[in-house]
């Protein structure tokens, strides 16, 4: 009988086919994406809180847009980076793509709703088919934190505020010394024109110049000449300009440049930059700003001032490895983007910035690991505990009272937990207070409130417990 049953099983196995043809299912996240643990999410929430508070301090409203857009909405807006857009499979009539950034959807939103004036922020995930470098905070799915001012205003006032916001956020996050590089697309285009770059090659040469923060001038020149067909003498003339950087004195020097000062576009850009530096000095941040002629920002939609914040050095705390994270914030002026979507081509001038939060998270996480600093993952203020058995009902009543009063409270999900286990849970979770119920406390109408850090215990009348917890955890006594 056993032999017969084994034969039947072997026959069934043969019908299923050989094992080697079956692909083993690998449990992993897709390339360029990651999960976030409670500890990592706690860090992210603190970073987001700093950013959002700054955006709100400057009077911004918040909007949201779909995670995917019509493919034609995104096409032709990103220059050479367009190849990094994720296209979705046709789902019945509409060709769609995942959003590449938050700026183009914002411009579409303005045009669609006929808005000519808004100051908004938007924090959401974007998608790029890039080569991920996870250790440097470079992913295929990542958050962008954008702030933009749309509307017709006097020159450089909104632009200066954007740079002020960028400096406020990076200073508040305490991730190290930083420098904000500033340039203007009109200066770049004027420079290319006086150097002899054909009009048709402006954008492609611009994307080559944009690589100067990562590779040497010789490599950039070889790409311009070898791959993009630029004459070597033209490349040399560009090199004389793009290797210069400084402050307002460089702006004034270039205003006297015999070639550049004859170009209308470059002259406009330099005039605006001079005004910008005046406002930045009034905001007290001109020491953080550098006029850098190599800054090009490869995106096609920029029309005026462009800027990018880089860390001067990564935090070198004890035990930390140097971390090359590159740019941590960037932005610029894009006056023509909304007009691309408007049926009548009406322009809405815009300027904005984007904070590179993923790179900032990488720095903050590494610092916490090096310091072996424990991150609290909950905000629980008090654990409701019992000192004896058969007090579950009393614990449930008390925790409900605390929740109803707006107190963040927990209890262990056991009928009769040991007091030692309850106190240990508080220490592990970082919960600062324990409200202990015992038979004697119930008779006396009090709750024993214990500080986990000092182990000091005091009896608090039940009706005063909420106020005492709020006082000890610095929570406002009223919820307005």
Mark the binding-site residues, compressed into ranges. Answer: 101-103, 128, 144, 148, 297, 301-302
28 phi, psi to nearest 5 deg: -155, 165
**Dist. CA 149–CA 121, nearest whole Å:** 9
For the chain, report the end-to-end CA distance as a whole number of angstroms: 79
SS (H, E, C) the chain: CHHHHHHHHHHHHHHHCCHHHCCCCCCCCCCCCCCCCHHHHHHHHHHHHHHHHHHHHCCCEECCCCCEEEHHHHCCCCHHHHHHCCECCCCCCCCEEECCCCHHHHHHHHHHCCCCCEEEEEEEEEECCCCCEHHHCECCEEEEEEEEEECCCCCCHHHHHHHHHHHHHHHHHCCCCEEEEEEEHHHHHHHHHHHCCCHHHHHHHHHHHHHHHCCCHHHHHHHHHHHCCCCHHHHHHHHHHHCCEECHHHHHHHHCCCCHHHCHHHHHHHHHHHHHHHHHHHCCCHHHEEEECCCCCCCCCCCCEEEEEEECCCCCCCCCCCCCCCEEEEEEECCCHHHHHCCCCCCCCEEEEEECHHHHHHHHHHHHHHHCCCCCCCCCCEEEEECCCCCHHHHHHHHHHHHHCCCCEECCCCCCCCHHHHHHHHHHHCCCEEEEECHHHHHHCEEEEEECCCCCEEEEEHHHHHHHHHHHCCCCCCCC
Known binding-site residue numbers for L-histidine = 101-103, 128, 144, 148, 297, 301-302
Contacts of 63-67 with CB under 8 Å at 24 or more apart are 63/106, 63/109, 63/120, 63/122, 64/122, 64/124, 65/99, 65/102, 65/105, 65/106, 65/108, 65/109, 65/122, 65/124, 66/99, 66/105, 67/98, 67/99, 67/124, 67/125
Note whether 352 and 147 are within 8 A (CB).
yes
Chain center to CA of 203: 27
């Amino acid at each position: 009988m056993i032999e017969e049953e084994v034969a039947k099983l072997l026959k069934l196995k043969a019908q299923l086919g050989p094992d080697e043809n079956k692909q083993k299912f690998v449990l992993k996240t897709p390339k360029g994406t990651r999960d976030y643990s409670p500890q990592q999410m706690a860090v992210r929430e603190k970073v987001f809180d700093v950013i959002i508070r700054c955006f709100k301090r400057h009077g911004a409203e918040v909007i949201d847009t779909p995670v995917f857009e019509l493919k034609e909405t995104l096409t032709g807006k990103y220059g050479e980076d367009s190849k990094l857009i994720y296209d979705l499979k046709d789902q019945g009539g509409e060709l769609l793509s995942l959003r590449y950034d938050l700026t183009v959807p914002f411009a579409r939103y303005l045009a669609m709703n006929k808005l000519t004036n808004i100051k908004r922020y938007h924090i959401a995930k974007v998608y790029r088919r890039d080569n991920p470098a996870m250790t440097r905070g470079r992913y295929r799915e990542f958050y962008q934190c954008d702030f933009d001012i749309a509307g017709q205003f006097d020159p450089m006032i909104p632009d200066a505020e954007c740079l002020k916001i960028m400096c406020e956020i990076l200073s508040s996050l305490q991730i190290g010394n930083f420098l904000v590089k500033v340039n203007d697309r009109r200066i770049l285009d004027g420079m290319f024109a006086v150097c002899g770059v054909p009009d048709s090659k402006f954008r492609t040469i611009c994307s080559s110049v944009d690589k100067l923060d990562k590779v040497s001038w010789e490599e950039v020149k070889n790409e311009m000449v070898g791959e993009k067909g630029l004459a070597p003498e033209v490349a040399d003339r560009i090199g004389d300009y793009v290797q210069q950087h400084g402050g307002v004195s460089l702006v004034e020097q270039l205003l006297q440049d015999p070639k550049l000062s004859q170009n209308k576009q470059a002259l406009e850009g330099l005039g605006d930059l001079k005004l910008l530096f005046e406002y930045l000095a009034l905001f007290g941040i001109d020491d953080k700003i550098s006029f850098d002629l190599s800054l090009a920002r490869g995106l096609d939609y920029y029309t005026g001032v462009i800027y990018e914040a880089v860390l001067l050095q990564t935090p070198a705390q004890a035990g930390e490895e140097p971390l090359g994270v590159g740019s941590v914030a960037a932005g610029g002026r894009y006056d023509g983007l909304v007009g691309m979507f408007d049926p009548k081509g009406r322009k809405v001038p815009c300027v904005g910035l984007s904070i590179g939060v993923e790179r900032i998270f990488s720095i903050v996480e590494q610092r916490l690991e090096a310091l072996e600093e424990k991150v609290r993952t909950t905000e629980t203020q008090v654990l409701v505990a019992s000192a004896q058995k058969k007090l579950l009902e009393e614990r449930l009543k008390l925790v409900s009272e605390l929740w109803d009063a707006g107190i963040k409270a927990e209890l262990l999900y056991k009928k009769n937990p040991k007091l030692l286990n309850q106190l240990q849970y508080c220490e592990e979770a970082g919960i600062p207070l324990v409200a202990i119920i015992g038979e004697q406390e119930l008779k006396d109408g009090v709750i024993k409130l214990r500080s986990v850090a000092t182990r000091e215990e005091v009896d608090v009348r039940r009706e005063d417990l909420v106020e005492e917890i709020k006082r000890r955890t610095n929570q406002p006594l009223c919820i307005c």
